Structure 1
Amino acid sequence: MSGIDLADSVIYGHLWATDETRALLGDAGRTSAWVRIIAALAEVQGELGVIPEAAAAELARLDGTVDLEAVGEETRASGHSTLGLIRVLRRGLGPEAAEWIYYGATVQDVTDTWFGLVMRDVLDLAERELLAIETALLRRASEHRDTPMLGRTHGQPGLPITFGFKAAVWAAEVGRHLDRIGEARPRLAVGQLAGAVGTLSAWGDAGPELQRRLMSRLGLGVPETSWLTARDRIAEYVTLLALVTGTLAKIGNEVYNLQRPELGELSEAPTPGVVGSITMPQKRNPERSEHLWTLARLVRSDAGLALEGLVGEHERDGAAWKTEWAIVPQATAAAATALTLARELVEGLRVDARRMQANLDAQRGYVLAEPAMLALAQRVGKHRAHELVQRAALAGQEADVTFAEALAADPEIAALLPQTDLRVEQALGAARTTVDDVIARRRSR
């Protein structure tokens, strides 16, 4: 581990990548995958008589084990993306196999096919983690279906909701990402075998069948055309990661704010041994929640670069394509880390229903202004009712009295509504049935 890239840092690597993504995206994992693709290509070429059977049999035995230092040295010497690897592989081959390795294929045939494998595997990873996150959120939604709390708009008290409703809103958003993953998988989990300009020219009539068999062997779909410069797949993939991490950061942001001691409604589960501050021993910081923002920002910035790659030059464009070598690993590692943190966050989330109720009670009834306005609207119309209730509420807050007292002190309102019985139940609307609906949709899916 060099430590130059934070994902590979011995000290900080756990904050920026996971062991799973390092194994998938690091030099060893990437190069091993490339070699396996080259071996599978040779095996299929041998089946179709494109290359000699003996050469194909030897090449098919390549297992991904390779001297990375030697590959690096040869890559620098050749100035080519994959020739260094080919040179090192040829050293261990017999004369015939060494001549037929990677026959007719171009750089992007192996690198883009690897991208397809990465996208396939990471979509599976994201689906696994999102299902766990959704399950945890739905459990919270069910447990707190009837737990009242303040709903806030523009950071200020609005109307009562239930915590179950808030958790259901989060869960529904996560569920939509699961839908998006299912819809994207057939588009993204495809390989590339196209040759120099995307026409499979090197293999003649055998080209389409060679492509079909190779992708089948690798567990990938066959693209309808070459995507040498059609980089919408990469753009979609990184943008999907940006959407997912954006939702996770949103959840983290809410937990971060509701963990403030003056609110104290939610909190992260403490991790034994973790220190919040080396100068303020009493602190317990929302580390997971906060880091979700950071990771989401990285992925969003990578999504912008991925979208830039949509504009490419003719049948090959290294500028757009090689940018992806940097952003796909970074976005993938950050998103995987965010998914892990978010799962830990929601599975260990602590809910303080008493503080929720206390914060609701502290509003002294003013969050019930909407039901009061709607009751009054039956007599004087909605807009006049709004004016009257706003007038009474502002006067009551100035006089430091309860909302019920403020309504009673306004002679016009008191005459129209002599008996004002306002309860939180009146303001919850469909909060609880929303929880039921979200849970039911998950079960049906």
Structure 2
Amino acid sequence: MPINDKYESPLTARYASPEMSNLFSPATKFVTWRKLWLHLAIAEKELGINDISDDAIEDMKGHLVLTEEDFRVATEEERRRRHDVMAHVHAFAITAPRAAGIIHLGATSCYVTDNADLIILRDACNLLLDKLARVIDTLSKFCAEYKDLPTLGFTHFQPAQLTTVGKRASLWVQDLLWDLRNITRARDDIGFRGVKGTTGTQASFLALFEGDHEKVEALDKRVAELSGFASSYPVTGQTYSRKIDVDILSTIASFGASTHKTASDLRLLVSLKEIEEPFEKDQIGSSAMAYKRNPMRCERVCSLSRHLMTLIQNALMTSSVQWLERTLDDSANRRVTLPEAFLTADIVLTHLQNIFEGLVVYPKVIFRHITQELPFMATENIIIAVVKKGGNRQQCHEEIRVLSHQAARRVKEDGCENDLIERIKKTEYFKCIWDELDQLLDPKTFIGRAPQQVEKFLEEHVKPALEPYKDVLRERKVTELSV
């Protein structure tokens, strides 16, 4: 067939990291299924099922990784049987013949499908957390570097009191810090479905162990341990509750809201020419307008973050319609929703890391914007200074109100620079504070405790949160984007 004649998901074809793509690959899923069958057989043998031989266990251990022939056999069998789990039981039995009679003993399909999903979701959370820690660390260094640099603050995207470049960025860090906490909680709450049987009653295992309840409980605990979990869910239907998917995807959707907000802020600042995302030497911003330096990385973050935020609705709907012990209308949906959530979050993190590693700040542009607005913001300080010299507060307010409106009219109607300070210097009423005007207009006197807030935030909140990731953060590398 011709090349490129079938749809490929851009998540894997263009953007996602190799490690996250591999985690949600068929190879990882089916290897995990085989490991789960192995763990079940080991635990059943340990608890006295004599039909499981050492040779069977060794045969399974030696064939956990699927070959091309295994995939071919499983694909063909699924085409015949319309059942993916039984297709892979068949393929595993062929490649590990000494275990053929005991693979999947007592289990239902959800033993492998659901437990494998939980393992992969847990591992995917770990990948996200490592990358999120790196993003927070990189942005925190930016906060520290620019904690003292005054910049025009905005409310309603209208000029407001000054803040600092580092303080503004600390707001982004704080949101991401909460995401780190939320995803950690979601990961730590992931349990194991365990060995619960067809409707969650463990009836098949009770029959296998001839009515011995203690051995059935021991089996559930042992398989969970072999699979890397401290415990399994105490009760399930045929599946683990799809509310678990809601819990996990809600934290990832919340992360999407954080990243959309951060990238949107950066896009506004790029438009103001105060900050710029990385722009490569040969990068083209527009096919028509050669001068353009569009914030394509931030735009991509916003685009993908919006997709990320929508996926929680799928999980909510799926969870709400799981009839009684289970229904199968969750299966096709989850095959799309769960991988896409983690692949998208992974891509967003890669882009944010690349952006934060290469952010460019333009202090002179920032200062020019400050000087255009600061005279208006300084009026209260000027009034106080005049009053301290013996002036009347109401009279001073009226004097400066008139001058402010005159200056504002020139700015808006004639496109002139803000000349309020020049007007004050020419008005005899303000002569008593003429020599103080430069000090009264020093931008650093308008930023309050912004630098101190940043320092304290980084030391008392960010540093402890990143402590578990210190080994990850030592691995310094430049983050490249594939396309």
Aligned-residue Cα RMSD (Å) equals 3.3
* Aligned pair partner of 1:257 in 256, 263, 268: 268
Residue number in structure 1 paired with 2:443:
424
Provide closer, same or farther for how the CA distance between residues 425 and 31 of structure 1 changes in structure 2, counting only shifts above 3 A: same
Provide closer, same or farther for how the CA distance between residues 68 and 372 of structure 1 changes in structure 2, counting only shifts above 3 A: farther
* Aligned pair partner of 1:362 in 341, 358, 372: 372
Residue number in structure 1 paired with 2:463:
443
* Aligned pair partner of 1:331 in 331, 341, 347: 341
Residue number in structure 1 paired with 2:78:
75
Provide closer, same or farther for how the CA distance between residues 321 and 285 of structure 1 changes in structure 2, counting only shifts above 3 A: same
Q: Does 1:290 align with 2:299?
A: yes
Q: Distance in 2 between matches of 1:7 and 1:434?
A: 41
Residue number in structure 1 paired with 2:309:
300
CA displacement at 1:146 relative to structure 2? 0.8
Task: State the AA in 2 paired with 1:431.
Answer: A
Residue number in structure 2 paired with 1:398:
409
Residue number in structure 1 paired with 2:196:
194
After TM superposition, list the pairs within 5 Å mapping 1:21-420 onto structure 2.
21-50=20-49, 52-54=51-53, 55-66=56-67, 67-94=70-97, 97-188=99-190, 190-204=192-206, 205=213, 206-227=215-236, 228=239, 230-260=241-271, 263-311=272-320, 312-368=322-378, 393-400=404-411, 401-404=418-421
**Contact 2:374-2:441 at 8 Å conserved across structures:** no
**Contact 2:52-2:102 at 8 Å conserved across structures:** no
Provide closer, same or farther for how the CA distance between residues 152 and 119 of structure 1 changes in structure 2, counting only shifts above 3 A: same
**Contact 1:292-1:338 at 8 Å conserved across structures:** yes
**TM-score, normalising length: structure 2:** 0.80
Q: Does 1:14 align with 2:14?
A: yes
Aligned residues: 436
Provide closer, same or farther for how the CA distance between residues 299 and 52 of structure 1 changes in structure 2, counting only shifts above 3 A: same
For the residue of structure 1 that corresponds to 2:373, the secondary structure is: coil
Q: Distance in 1 between matches of 2:387 and 2:243?
A: 53
Deviations 1:129-168 (A, max 9, x none): 1111111111111111110111112222111110010121
Q: Distance in 1 between matches of 2:124 and 2:252?
A: 10
Task: State the AA in 2 paired with 1:219.
Answer: G
Provide closer, same or farther for how the CA distance between residues 3 and 289 of structure 1 changes in structure 2, counting only shifts above 3 A: farther
Deviations 1:406-428 (A, max 9, x none): 779999x979x998745433431
Deviations 1:253-293 (A, max 9, x none): 22222122xx2111112234433333333333322111101
For the residue of structure 2 that corresponds to 1:319, the secondary structure is: helix
CA displacement at 1:336 relative to structure 2? 0.6
Q: How many percent identity over aligned positions?
A: 21
Q: Distance in 1 between matches of 2:82 and 2:392?
A: 80
**Contact 1:259-1:267 at 8 Å conserved across structures:** yes
Of 103-112 and 160-169, more deviation after overlay is shown by: 103-112
Task: State the AA in 2 paired with 1:344.
Answer: N
Which residues of structure 1 form unaligned runs of 5+?
Answer: none
**Contact 2:187-2:248 at 8 Å conserved across structures:** no
Q: Which has the greater radius of gyration?
A: 2
Provide closer, same or farther for how the CA distance between residues 377 and 104 of structure 1 changes in structure 2, counting only shifts above 3 A: farther
Task: State the AA in 1 paired with 2:463.
Answer: R
**Contact 1:188-1:233 at 8 Å conserved across structures:** yes
Provide closer, same or farther for how the CA distance between residues 430 and 201 of structure 1 changes in structure 2, counting only shifts above 3 A: farther
Q: Distance in 2 between matches of 1:300 and 1:377?
A: 53
**Contact 1:193-1:226 at 8 Å conserved across structures:** no
Provide closer, same or farther for how the CA distance between residues 117 and 363 of structure 1 changes in structure 2, counting only shifts above 3 A: same
Of 435-444 and 392-401, more deviation after overlay is shown by: 392-401
Residue number in structure 2 paired with 1:5:
8
**Contact 1:194-1:200 at 8 Å conserved across structures:** yes
Of 388-397 and 124-133, more deviation after overlay is shown by: 388-397
Provide closer, same or farther for how the CA distance between residues 429 and 230 of structure 1 changes in structure 2, counting only shifts above 3 A: same
**TM-score, normalising length: structure 1:** 0.86
Provide closer, same or farther for how the CA distance between residues 168 and 47 of structure 1 changes in structure 2, counting only shifts above 3 A: same
CA displacement at 1:72 relative to structure 2? 2.3
Provide closer, same or farther for how the CA distance between residues 425 and 271 of structure 1 changes in structure 2, counting only shifts above 3 A: closer
For the residue of structure 2 that corresponds to 1:65, the secondary structure is: coil
**Contact 1:371-1:426 at 8 Å conserved across structures:** no
CA displacement at 1:388 relative to structure 2? 9.7
